[in-house]
Amino acid sequence: MLATAKLPPGPKGRPVVGNLLDYSRDPLDFLTRCVREYGDVVRLKFPGPPAYLLAHPDHIEQVLVTNNRNFIKDRVTRSQLSILGDGLLTSDGAFWRRQRRLAQPAFHHQRVANYAGTMVAYTERMLEGWRDGEQRDIHRDMMRLTLEIVAKTLVDADIADEAENVGEAIGAVMAHFSDQGNGVFLRMLPDSVPTPSNLRYRRAQRQLEEFIYGIIDERRKSGRDTGDLLSMLLHARDEDGGRMSDEQLRDEVMTVIMAGHETTAIALSWTWRLLALYPDVEKKLHAELDEWLGGGPPTIVDLPQLPYTDAVLKESMRLYPPAWAIGREAVEDCEIGGFHVPAETQLFISQYVVHHDPRFFEDPDVFDPDRWTNGLEKQIPKYAYFPFGGGPRLCIGQSFAKMEAALLLATIARRFRIRIPEDQRVVPQPSITLRPKQGIQIRLEER
pLDDT value at residue 162: 86
DSSP bridge pairs for 42 = 53
Q: How far is CA 45 from CA 28, 29, 73, 445, in A?
A: 16, 16, 19, 49
Q: Average pLDDT in the 82-87 region?
A: 84
Contact 374, 38 (CB under 8 A): no
Contact 420, 20 (CB under 8 A): no
Question: What pTM does this model have?
Answer: 0.92
- Say yes or no to pLDDT of 177 above 80: no
- Say yes or no to pLDDT of 69 above 80: yes
- Say yes or no to pLDDT of 279 above 50: yes
- Least confident among 147-156, 194-203, 301-310, 356-365: 194-203
Most confident of 80-89, 167-176, 321-330: 321-330
- Say yes or no to pLDDT of 1 above 50: no
- Least confident among 166-175, 257-266, 353-362, 382-391: 166-175
> What does the alpha-carbon distance between residue 122 and residue 129 come to, in Å, rounded to a whole number?
12
Percent of the chain with pLDDT over 90: 63
Total Cβ atoms within 10 A of residue 389: 17
Name the 3-class secondary structure at 137: strand
User: Each residue of 304-323: pLDDT tens digit?
Assistant: 999 999 999 999 999 999 99
Provide the phi-psi class of 344: left if phi over 0, else alpha when psi is between -120 and 50, else beta. left
> What does the alpha-carbon distance between residue 423 and residue 11 come to, in Å, rounded to a whole number?
35
User: Each residue of 355-379: pLDDT tens digit?
Assistant: 999 999 999 999 999 999 988 999 9
Most confident of 70-84, 275-289, 422-436: 275-289
| pLDDT level of residue 238 (50, 70, 90 thresholds) | low
H-helix segments, 294-427: 307-319, 351-355, 370-373, 376-379, 398-413
- Say yes or no to pLDDT of 233 above 90: no
